[in-house]
Copies of this chain bind each other. A is one copy, B any other.
Amino acid sequence: MATLGFIGLGIMGTPMAGHLLAAGHTLFTHSRSGTPESLIAAGATACAHATEVAQKADIIFVMVPDTPHVEAVLFGDHGVAAGLTPGKIVVDMSSISPVATKDFARRINALGCEYLDAPVSGGEVGAKAASLTIMVGGNEPAFDAVRPLFALMGKNITRVGGNGDGQITKVANQVIVALTIEAVGEALLLAAKAGANPAKVREALMGGFAASRILEVHGERMIKRTFNPGFRIELHQKDLNLALATGRQLGVSLPNTATAQELFNACAAHDGSGWDHSAMVRALEKMANFEIGQPTPAA
């Protein structure tokens, strides 16, 4: 059994670390808000800082909110880098900038260590159920070494390519999900305003080329008006911000991602940061002065 480290014990990190402990691994932990009692009771050893975690563990997992947090955990005061010795592996499971990730990987590699970027999708539910989708970038030997540990936390585990490729795959996923929600929103709202029953329209479309899991799940949410999360708009805003910033850095125009972000911003203006992301349709509805659930206008 490898000696493991886990830094960042929020709503995602805590259940993920729990799965590693449950499999019998020795686990050293650190988190801004302290190590939860449940993990201590399960055998985790809390460390004073990330440097100590990196000194004691062979494979160090990081699960924090955003790019600056990863940079601080890795290279800040009492950071991971200060505790590394050659041969260790750093695994960043946060969802952060693909461009910054390549830089972080180079700096970790320069210390004689391997780096994997391994963002996840599936949210809190997937973290608890150990059913996360894990998209990995990095060297194949490092991936092979960590793969059995990923399998304790997730189900659909793919090495896409070198460093950064895991992060860009996560960004691509979030772009497609947001834009498909927007597409379903435009289509169902137009149909409802024309007087059609949006539930019937959705049913008819599910048989053809417009079919998707988004039409199925989020389309139903729009019709039934169930906008409790699910996946919160403020989290998807962070992801689209990553997409737009990456597009700007790489010189790629993302016109519909930009519009989708603006529609999320409009939801936030209506106190909707905590709504499920399917509620993006509400921004379209504000513009149309009409809601999908409303009685249809006279024909």
Using CB atoms and an 8 Å cutoff, list the residues of chain A in contact with chain B: 98-99, 102, 121, 133, 135, 137, 156, 158, 160-165, 168-169, 171-173, 175-180, 182-184, 186-191, 193-197, 200-201, 203-205, 207-215, 217, 243, 246-247, 250-257, 259-260, 263, 284, 287-290, 299
Contacts and interface: CB of A to CB of B under 8 A. Distances in A.
A204 B246 contact: no
A160 B243 contact: no
A67 B160 CA distance: 48
B179 A180 contact: yes
B164 A194 contact: yes
B164 A207 contact: no
Given A168-B201, A175-B190, A178-B183, 13 more contacts: A98-B194, A156-B208, A164-B196, A164-B299, A165-B196, A169-B200, A171-B187, A176-B205, A176-B210, A177-B209, A177-B210, A190-B252, A255-B263
A287 B253 contact: yes
Q: Main secondary structure on chain A at its contact with chain B?
A: helix
B173 A208 contact: yes
A197 B180 CA distance: 22
Contacts of A200: 158, 160-161, 165, 169
B161 A252 contact: no
Nearest to A173: B210
A259 B260 CA distance: 12
A168 B156 contact: no
Contact of A246 (B137, B190, B263): B190
Contacts of A186: 175, 179, 252, 254-257
Nearest to A200: B160
B209 A173 contact: yes
B182 A250 contact: no
A190 B168 contact: yes
A17 to B, nearest CB: 23
Contacts of A156: 207-208
A212 B188 CA distance: 18
A175 B194 CA distance: 15
Contacts of A217: 209
Contacts of A168: 190-191, 194-196, 201
Given A180-B212, A204-B169, A190 B255 contact: no
A209 to B, nearest CB: 5
A171 B192 CA distance: 12
A190 B210 contact: no
Contacts of A209: 121, 173, 177, 213-214, 217
